[in-house]
Structure 1
Amino acid sequence: MSLNELRTLGRTGALISPLTLGTLNFGTGTAPTGPADSIRIIKAALDAGITSIDTADIYSQGEAENVVGQAIHGRRDEVFLATKFHGQMGSNPAHAGNSRRWIVRAVENSLRRLDTDRIDLYQAHRPDYNTDLLETITALNDLIRQGKILYYGTSVFSPAQLVEAQWIANTNHLTPPVVDQVPYSLLVRANERDVFPITQQYGVGVLSYGPLDGGWLAGGYRVGGGQPESSRFSAVPGRFDVTAPFNQAKLHAADALGRVAARYGISLIQLAVAFAMNHPAVTSVIIGPRTEEHLTDYLKAADVVLSEAILDEIDDIVAPAVNFLERDAGTVAPHLEYPELRRR
C-alpha cells in the first residue's frame, strides 16, 4: 500500500488517496494549529501524495475552510475537496441542521470560504431528527444539478438511516448518497457489524475518521503510565481518564496493542492507521495532524502491510465489531441519550 495507489470512492469512479487530510485542528481561536502552520501542513500533504481534503463549516466556525481555500489556491484541480454542513454557525440556532433552508445558505458560505466554484463531496455532518430525510436529499440533488456540488454523503448515520437514504433516493428517482463518514479504529470497531456490510452492499464509499481514537492509540496510554497530557481530557470529561473504571478495558487493550506494534518494529500510530486502511470497506482514512511532524508519522503508515498473523493478534485483543463505549460511535441516538425519550 502507498499513497500512489488511489482508490475508487464507492461506485462514483472518482479516485482518491488512501489517506485524507482532516482539518479539524486547523484555523484560529481554539484550534490547536494556526493559519500559517495549517497552510504549510496542507501543502506538505499534497506534495506527499494526499489528494483528498476533508473539512467542515463548523470547524473553527468557518476558519478551517478559509485556511483550506488559501492553501489549495492554484492547486484546486489536484484536490478532491470534501466539506460538511449541519452544525450551528454563530449564535443563531436557525443556522444549523439539514433543512433545505439552511443547506442552500450553508453551501454558498462554504463555496465562498473555500474560494471554489464547486465542492466535490458535500456531507451531512450528523443526522437531523427534525428534518424529513427526503427534504435533505432533494435539496442536495438540486445542488448537484446546479453544479455547486458533485456528490453528497452522510456522516455517522445509523444502519437504518443509511438504508432509508438509499431507498428514498431510489424510489424518488434521485441520486443517492455515495459516501458515509464513520469512526473506525483498533478500539472502535462496531461499524464492522452492520454499517460496513451496508455500505458495501450499496456501493457507498467510506471515509473513516479517528484512527487514533482521540489519542488512545498515539502511544501514551499504557498501563501504569499515568495520565497522558491531552486537551481532550477536560474537553470531554471522563472519556480519556485512565483512572475511570469504564476505561480500564480500553486502557489494557491500548497497552496490549502497543506491545504488538513494538514486536513487529512499527509504531502504534503506524499500526492503527494501517489497520483502518486495511478494511475492504474503507476507501480512505482521515488523519488529523496538528504539526508537520504528526503528518510525517501518519504518512509512514501508508507503506505498512499488516499480515494475517498481526490481524489475528489484533482480533484477540479487541474483538471484531466491538466498541468499548457507546459514545465511541460518534453520535448517540436521541432515544438513547435522553431519558425522557428512552423511557416513553
Structure 2
Amino acid sequence: MHYRNLGTTGLKVSEIAYGSWLTFGNQVELDNAKAIIRRAVELGINYIDTADVYERGQAEQLLGEILPEYNRRQLVIATKAFWPMSDHPSDRGLSRKHIIDSINGSLQRLKLDYVDLFYCHRFDPEVPLEETLEAVQDIIRQGKALYWGTSEWTAAQIAEAWGICKARGWQTPVVNQPLYNLTNRYIESDVLPVTRNLGMGTANFSPLAQGLLTGKYSKGKIPAGSRAADERLNMFMKDQVADMDLLDRVDKLGEIAKDYNISSAQLALAWVLQQDGISSVIIGASSVKQLEDNAAASGITLKEADLRTINQLFPA
C-alpha cells in the first residue's frame, strides 16, 4: 500500500480507503465486516470512511464493534453529518445543534474518543455558513475531530468557507469528498482546480461507479447478488446498466487492463489515482476478495498513451 499526504496537511492516508456506504449495516453483517476490516488493515489501508446517516447509524454501530480491536493511532477514521437522522426537523442539516448532536452520536456509536476527519456531508443553505463553521471549529477545539472537510460542495461554497476560516484564524477545510470516476468527471471543471489551489486533498467516493467500471455488467448482464440486482442499492445505476454504449466502452477498459495483467477495476482506480490532487479513493467492497482486488490498484502507473486512450473513451 502506498500513502499520500491529505492535501498540504501532515496526515498520511492510504491511496485506497475503505468506505461503509451501501455496505456496512446493509450488505455486510458483523462477521463479514470484521473479516473485511481485518484484511484492510493487513493490506495497509488506514483510512476508514463512514457517516452517521449510513443506515441511520447502523454502519457506525457495526464499526464500533470492530475498531476497538485495532491500534487507534494507526487508523484514520472519518464520519459526516448533514442528512436526516430522524423525522424531527432539528435532527438534520448543519446547524450548531445538529453538528454537536451528530458528532456526539457518532463517537458513541463508533466507541471512539475522536475522529480524524469530520465532513460536512452537503452544503446547508438554510443555516448561516458562519454558524456551521464555528460549530465545526468547536468540535475540533474539543478534540472530537482533528481535521474537517466538505462533501459534494460547489467550488464557490468551498472557497467561501475556506476564506472565512482563514480570515478568522480557524482551521480551513483540508479535504473534499466528491463523486468522481471515469463516468462522472464534473469536478475537473472547477471543484478540483479550486481544492488544489487551496491545498485541500480529495478523497473521492464511488471510483468504480458502484461497480459499473469493474466490467461485471458487460453486454447488459446483471449477475445475481450484484449491486445492480439489488433494488435497495441500485437506485443510482439503473440507467447506466441499460446504456449499451457505456458498457461497450467499459469493455474496452478491460482490453487495456489485460496489457498490465490487472483487472478493469484496478485500471479504473489507478486512473483516478493518477489525477492531480487526489489523495485517496474510497472503495466499498462487500467481500474480502473485492477488497484485495481493489487494494492492489495502489502503486500502479499507467502509460501516457493509455491515459490518452482512456480519456478518449470517457471524456470529461
Which TM-score tier does this pair reach, normalised by the shorter chain?
A: over 0.9
Corresponding letter in the other structure for 1:95: D
Relative to the length of structure 1, the TM-score reads 0.85
- Asked if the contact 2:50/2:78 (under 8 Å) is kept, the reply is yes
The aligned counterpart of 1:192 is: 188
Deviations 1:215-266 (A, max 9, x none): 21121233x443455444645558424675xx35433322322232234432
Q: Give me the TM-score of the superposition, normalised by structure 2.
A: 0.92
Moved segments of 4+, more than 3 Å? 25-28, 224-239, 241-244
Q: Distance in 2 between matches of 1:232 and 1:134?
A: 41
What residue in structure 2 maps to residue 240 of structure 1? Answer: 238
1:286 to 273, 276, 282: 282
- Work out the CA distance in 2 between the residues paired with 1:91 and 1:159: 30
Aligned counterparts of 2:228 and 2:159: Cα–Cα separation in 1? 33
2:11 pairs, out of 14, 20, 23, with 14
Q: List aligned pairs for 1:1-344, cutoff 5 A.
A: 3=1, 5-28=2-25, 31-73=26-68, 74-222=70-218, 224-229=219-224, 230-232=226-228, 234-235=231-232, 236=234, 239-241=237-239, 244=242, 247-319=243-315, 322=316
The answer for unaligned runs of 5 or more in structure 2 is: none
Give the total of aligned pairs: 312
How far apart are the structure 2 equivalents of 1:116 and 1:225?
A: 43
| Structure 1: gaps spanning 5 or more residues | 323-344
Cα displacement (A) at 1:177: 0.9
* Contact in 2 for aligned 1:26/1:67 (Cα 8 Å): no
Query: Contact between 2:18 and 2:284, CA under 8 Å: does it hold in 1?
Result: yes
Determine the C-alpha separation between the residues in 2 that align with 1:287 and 1:38: 14
- CA deviations 1:290-334 (Å, max 9, x no partner) are 011111111221242211121011112111xx2xxxxxxxxxxxx
1: distance between equivalents of 2:236 and 2:121? Answer: 24
Task: Give the secondary-structure state (helix, strand or coil) at the position aligned to 1:97.
Answer: coil
Q: Secondary structure at the match of 1:283?
A: strand
Deviation of 1:63 after TM superposition, in Å, equals: 1.7
Give 3-state SS (helix, strand or coil) of 1:116's partner.
coil
Query: Quick one: distance in 2 between partners of 1:312 and 1:231?
Result: 30
Structure 1 Cα separation of the partners of residues 268 and 180 of structure 2: 10
Q: Which amino acid in structure 2 is aligned with residue 191 of structure 1?
A: I
Tell me the equivalent position of 1:337. none
Residues 227 and 241 in structure 1, CA contact (< 8 A), matched pair in contact too: no
**Gap change, CA 1:238 and 1:27, over 3 Å in 2:** closer
Distance (Å, rounded) in 2 between the aligned partners of 1:238 and 1:9: 28
Query: Do the aligned partners of 1:26 and 1:60 also contact (CA within 8 Å) in 2?
Result: no
Note the aligned Cα RMSD (angstroms).
1.9
The sequence identity of aligned pairs, in percent, is 36
